[in-house]
Structure 1
């Protein structure tokens, strides 16, 4: 009986111990399931992948006639080469034909892809119990495995990365392996000439422009950076972010600044205040937030909050002018910060 643990799969794919039999990639991460099957097929194809005889079925296709799987496994390749059968969306309908092939696959490698399967699932149990069977669980990446994948990808491509590239990518991406691979391929292609990646590159290429621009709007307004503010506003609005939503987030941001400023006025340093926050702001914003706490007094923050409340009221009364109100208000606050 061979039931691999999820953390053992990557090592197994580097050196599979079988060249024939039944291989089952299963789990909730559909992207990782597909990638696992693809990597295994590449290895099984040998030194000449083009010579491999690969047949692909979809699970529902075999439900109507499961015997097709047995016929394909028993058939002789007309052109030689490794016989590989790939079955996507595999399910319990395959248990009977696979039982026939379990002990004698006839030299064929049968690679199954399935959703998450409980331990008592008939298909999973059959493969795990088979002498010529290997079950490969595919569960979502953890922060550690995701970071390792990113480092390995960039190292193999000879790309240097700034220290904040991988943490930023972890924050942006989910844990679907297929999505992660696609974004990493895009970054590798982008950095192919210069062989270097910065956080700004990652944000430009991988982040949702609207969501990403919000932090930039908050910090440009609070920090007095008019040019950055215009760029961030353009990006957010182009991504269809609602101007009233941005005004609400700005109101919350300045309310936070005022609350934190009270602690600074009580004798704590801006950095100590920020370090004590839970949840802690992303490290990439710490310097900008510290600068804002030094720029703004409590009285000035109170004025800013009043302006934002008035702007919010104006935008609700006249929704057609919400963008104009947003731009006018943020620029005024930006200029106020710059004069401190």
Structure 2
């Protein structure tokens, strides 16, 4: 008898994108509303990114936002996608997430990356010795694991609120470097293929081939990130996607603005979306009707073999974004 295939878990990566005309407070309230609805739709996780000095993204104080989302939901796992570790002290991260783990037991994830999440001038303002911390990324992960260990109770420096608290750690990455770290430490691995797909397959191969079982994980576990804009028709999704196209243009030209409302797709915007630089960055942006997105998602899962898929979206209207995630949840249940 053929063994029944387990359903693939599906999750959300939230950047708390700020739309033109919206306040930061409204943005946060929309994030919570989405998390509440995502919980009902069967999403497994709701992760919040860390970005700084970008007026279009409000997920700067990531740990604070995680507490807000976890406090307003009941079951969905809430975490960081991720904490950019070179921006922070491992001790403070351990204290913050130990506190969150005690307040919301068995619901908090700690995803760790080493990108700045901002421009270099701002990164220096956050932590002047940041580049030294970048090279210590593997050691600083070990330091956090030590702070969470009950064996740390006799150490001179302790994160007492973290000791013995169950917080799974995930390594985040957009290059092959992170794959080596995740594999050597025996930790789950989330790849940022939603904006940096170029090294996805090479990174996954490194992770699978070099994975060392650990006390935290006995076999590899991977999360692949995609962009999804789903609507009732391909035409409607295409129009909604003009927000994403204009946002990516701002990122690539250094002219970052608030997320703009969608406009009718023009030949100029279509040409922009077909630009090789856009195509490279948004290889895994699945835009269209439920049927179109389902076909692309199935292909992604088959080609990558990832254990879980995580979805980001840049959709201006909150109701359109909720609808897109609802359609995606239906797709994943059907798959």
Normalised to the residue count of structure 1, the TM-score between the two structures is: 0.23
Normalised to the residue count of structure 2, the TM-score between the two structures is: 0.23
Larger Cα Rg: Structure 1 or Structure 2?
1
- Normalized per residue, the structure richer in strand is 2
